[in-house]
Structures are given as structure tokens and as C-alpha cells.
């Protein structure tokens, strides 16, 4: 009997501490409300010749409204086509459970072109916010992401999210497919 109690206690403890600790880049509570933003997390990296593409996620909550902040950084010696989002832009997340979760853009904008004269390369940076369509986040919090498709204003692009990503460019190790499992609890009230 003692063995079972100890085993159950250890199991409960391991489940309680299995989620990652929440670290925030922004955490504001004032008379206007509250806003929290988790640390930025690399979820996709592609390096091919002179071309580099990095995709980052950040979760935020603004007075109870969850937001996914998307950042796409592209670098290339050649010209890079601009990426824009509009009110029809979407992020589709296909989960391992088979469900598809949709997020919608709440702004119209295009990426910024910055020329790096030192490396003689073009850099395009897109920062965009997407809103969660559903209030039911259980599937998102319990099932890994298999595929992400982003519908931009001028194209659609698919990104396969890996179980583990060891970055060449930002010297980090992340688990993109587990992003929401690991971090969604940080923005829940």
C-alpha cells in the first residue's frame, strides 16, 4: 500500500512540474488592465545557400484575449518577395490529433525591407498578430502541431514543425511542435 501511495505522489509531482516555467518579456498590470507576453520562441528555421528564413512565436494576453504574435525574418543576397497580411490572412495549425485550429489576422501590414550593407544582403521582417477563433483550447494544449499553413495576402506557405529544432542561426534548441503544450498555460487567467 505504501508503494502505491509513493508512486502516485511521484506521478502527480512529475505531471505538475512537467510544464515549462513561464518567463515573460512583458508583464504589465495597471489601472487600464493587464498585458503579458511570453519570451519569443523559434519554431521554424530554413537555411539553404544564401537564403535564410526564421519563424518565431510569442504568446500574449491582452485583458483576457489570447494573441499569437508571429515574426518571420528572411535574409537573402537576392531580392526577396514581400509578405503581407490582410483581414483574410489565416494561420492553420494541423494537430497530431487530426484537428485543424485556425487563427485570424487582425491587421493589414507588409514586412519591412532592411538592407544590410555589411553582409550585402536583403532582410525582410514581418511582425503580425493573430487572434484565436475558438475559446476551446484543450486540443491545442494537449496535441502537438504537425503542420502550420499561413495564408498571406499574396500567397500560402506550409511549414512543418519539428519535434526538436537545433538552430544554426540563433544557437538555441526548441520544441516547435510542443509550443502550445509548453506555453499556453502562461497566458491563461
pLDDT band at 17, cuts 50/70/90?
very low
C-alpha cell of 60? 500574449
How is the chain split into domains, by residue range? Answer: 20-187
pLDDT value at 101 more than 60 = yes
- Contact criterion met (CB below 8 Å) for 113 and 125: no
> Quick one: which of 68, 56, 38 has its CA closest to 174?
56
CA angle 116, 118, 171 (to 5 degrees): 80
d(CA 57, CA 69): 6
d(CA 141, CA 69): 17
CB atoms within 10 A of CB 64: 10
The backbone torsions φ and ψ at residue 4, rounded to the nearest 5 degrees and listed phi first, read -65, -40
Q: Kindly report the pTM of this predicted structure.
A: 0.85
Average pLDDT on 11-33 reads: 70
d(CA 28, CA 157): 34
d(CA 76, CA 46): 12
pLDDT band at 19, cuts 50/70/90?
low
pLDDT band at 185, cuts 50/70/90?
very high
How many residues make up the chain in this entry? 189
Amino acid at each position: 500500500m505504501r508503494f502505491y501511495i509513493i508512486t502516485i505522489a511521484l506521478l502527480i509531482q512529475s505531471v505538475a512540474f512537467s510544464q515549462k516555467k513561464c518567463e515573460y518579456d512583458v508583464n504589465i498590470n495597471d489601472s487600464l488592465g493587464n498585458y503579458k507576453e511570453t519570451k519569443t520562441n523559434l519554431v521554424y528555421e530554413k537555411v539553404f545557400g544564401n537564403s535564410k528564413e526564421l519563424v518565431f512565436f510569442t504568446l500574449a494576453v491582452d485583458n483576457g484575449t489570447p494573441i499569437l504574435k508571429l515574426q518571420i525574418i528572411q535574409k537573402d543576397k537576392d531580392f526577396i518577395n514581400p509578405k503581407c497580411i490582410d483581414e483574410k490572412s489565416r494561420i492553420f495549425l494541423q494537430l497530431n490529433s487530426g484537428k485543424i485550429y485556425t487563427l485570424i489576422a487582425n491587421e493589414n501590414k507588409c514586412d519591412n525591407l532592411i538592407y544590410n550593407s555589411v553582409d550585402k544582403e536583403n532582410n525582410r521582417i514581418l511582425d503580425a498578430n493573430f487572434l484565436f477563433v475558438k475559446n476551446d483550447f484543450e486540443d491545442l494544449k494537449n496535441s502537438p502541431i504537425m503542420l502550420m499553413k499561413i495564408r498571406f495576402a499574396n500567397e500560402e506557405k506550409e511549414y512543418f514543425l519539428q519535434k526538436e529544432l537545433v538552430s544554426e542561426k540563433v544557437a538555441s534548441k526548441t520544441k516547435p511542435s510542443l509550443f502550445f503544450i509548453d506555453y499556453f498555460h502562461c497566458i491563461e487567467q
